[in-house]
Amino acid sequence: MKKVYAMTAVLALAAGLGTAPAMAASADRELDSFEAPEFPRAAQRRNLEGHVTVRYSVTEDGEVADVEVVEATPAGVFERSVMRALEAWRYAAGERTENMERRFDFAFAD
Look up the domain containing 13 and give its range. 4-108
pLDDT digits (tens, 9 = 90+) for 40-57: 999 999 999 999 999 999
Q: What is the pTM of this model?
A: 0.76
Give the confidence band of 106 by pLDDT, cuts at 50, 70, 90: very high
Structural domain count of the chain: 1
Domain with residue 15: its CATH number is: 3.30.2420.10
pLDDT digits (tens, 9 = 90+) for 2-40: 444 444 444 334 333 332 222 223 446 899 999 999 999
Per-residue pLDDT tens digits for 47-89: 999 999 999 999 999 999 999 999 999 999 999 999 999 999 9
CA 81, CA 77: separation in Å to the nearest integer? 8
